[in-house]
Amino acid sequence: MTVNGERYELLVDSRQTLLDALREGLSLYGTKEGCGNGNCGSCTVLLDDKPVDSCLVFALEADGHKVTTVEGLAKDGRLHPVQQSFMEHGSLQCGFCTPGFLVSAKALLDRNPNPTEHEVRLAIAGNLCRCTGYDKIVRAVMDAAAQGRGQRTAG
Applying CB under 8 A, the residues found at the interface with other proteins are 14-15, 17, 36-39, 41, 44, 47, 50-53, 55-58, 60-61, 63, 104, 122-123, 125-127
Shortest reach from residue 63's CB to other proteins, in Å: 8
Q: 111 and 135 in contact (C-beta within 8 Å)?
A: no
* 3-state SS, one letter per residue, for 65-120: CEEECHHHCCECCECCHHHHHHHHHCCCCCCCCHHHHHHHHHHHHHHCCCCCHHHH
Shortest reach from residue 77's CB to other proteins, in Å: 29
**The one-letter amino acid at 69:** T
- 14 or 153: CB nearest other proteins: 14
Shortest reach from residue 98's CB to other proteins, in Å: 16
- 86 or 101: CB nearest other proteins: 101
- 4 or 42: CB nearest other proteins: 42
Shortest reach from residue 55's CB to other proteins, in Å: 8
- 35 or 94: CB nearest other proteins: 35
Shortest reach from residue 19's CB to other proteins, in Å: 11
| DSSP 8-state class, residue 133 | -
Torsion over CA: 125, 128, 132, 136 (sign) = negative
- 3 or 123: CB nearest other proteins: 123
Rounded distance between C-alpha atoms, residue 59 and residue 125, angstroms: 25
Degrees to nearest 5, angle at CA 56 with 30 and 63? 80
